Amino acid sequence: MKRPDDGILLVDKEAGETSHDVVRKVKTALRCGRRYKIGHAGTLDPFATGLLVVLLGQGTKLSRFIMAGEKEYLATLELGIETDTLDPTGTVTAVRDVPRLSEAHIRDTAKRYEGTIRQTPPVYSAVKHQGARAYKLARKGIAVSLKEREVTVHALSIVSVALPEITMRIRCAGGTYIRSLAADLARDLGPGGRLKTLRRLRSGAFDVACAIQSENILTEANLREMGIPLTKALPGMDEIAVDEALAEKVRQGYQPGWNELIAADDSMHPLKENYVKLVSGQKLLAIIKKSDGGDGHEKVKFERVFS
């Protein structure tokens, strides 16, 4: 059987399985060889559900670009119960009564978490601490102290309040830990709490409504056709079209300058971002980064090249 095309696959992960479980399931369904790489962009915790972007073949080269995109989540915060993992999978560390909180007070408090905020990643996370993953150290009982970092929350809206539970819709930049956000908000409200449920609705330009249910992966006969090709995997990124002659030179290691690239595409328009896709026909050739050379000329750095 032929190998699957390079690109990405959108999967709606179910609760109880890890992101790696989904990757293994896709690899089994596609029956591809060991040398064919499959990965994912943006881990979802086992208790969480929703959109997982699975990377197929050379699609693994797109990981950091996809992970950098804006995310949207639906989350339920449960007040009055704290755990060491900040979610329902951990050991309970505190139980407190939940006072009567007005919906107006909850909304006003939540608004403080919009914009650029500082948060500490959960101890049970993949963040590295002294060269090791924090969660691995925490499971061994080793004390872990992670540094605060800045993250951006574009919008945090309260969907419903049914104490002790508060359901929120969160739109944020990549790198934001929703467990930490929920725990911080719970402490501000008084009794503390944990993230009870989490569902990723969107990642970058991709919506969970367009994803295949994880439970259907192994039985979906047309799984190969459901993949999104490399050229469409970064829809928000500007692109420059080059002819096949220049494309072949690039594949052989040649790196054209900015003036040569814009001369190759007479449909060029002002760029929105510094990252640009080079395409040839229906194929993604490379991702480049444009920068000011300081001498009035644009510099080009090749970030990724595709065969």
Its CATH class, for the domain covering 238-305, is: mainly beta
State residue 2's pLDDT score.
Answer: 47
* CATH topology identical between 7-68+205-229 and 71-203: yes
**What confidence score (pLDDT) does residue 294 get?**
57
Please tell me the distance from the alpha carbon of residue 244 to that of residue 234, in angstroms, as a whole number: 21
Domain borders along the chain are: 7-68+205-229, 71-203, 238-305
Asked whether residue 272 carries a pLDDT value surpassing 70, the answer given is: no
- Give the separation between CA 66 and CA 55, rounded to whole angstroms: 10
pLDDT per residue over 62-83, tens digit each? 999 999 889 999 999 999 999 9
Please give the pLDDT value at position 220: 85
Question: Which residues are identified as catalytic?
Answer: 45
Q: What percent of the chain has pLDDT over 90?
A: 61
CB under 8 Å to 135, separation ≥6 — which residues?
A: 123, 124, 125, 126
**At the topology level of CATH, where does 7-68+205-229 sit?**
Pseudouridine synthase (3.30.2350)
Query: Within a 13 Å sphere around the CA of 175, how many CA atoms are in the beta-carbon half?
Result: 14
pTM of the model: 0.89
One DSSP character per residue, 95-117 reads E-PPPP--HHHHHHHHHTTSEEE
Whole-angstrom CA distances from 9 to 4, 23, 35, 55, 250 are 11, 10, 18, 7, 27
Which residues are paired to 155 by β-bridges?
171
pLDDT bin (cut points 50, 70, 90) of residue 123 is confident
Superfamily per CATH, domain 71-203: Pseudouridine synthase (3.30.2350.10)
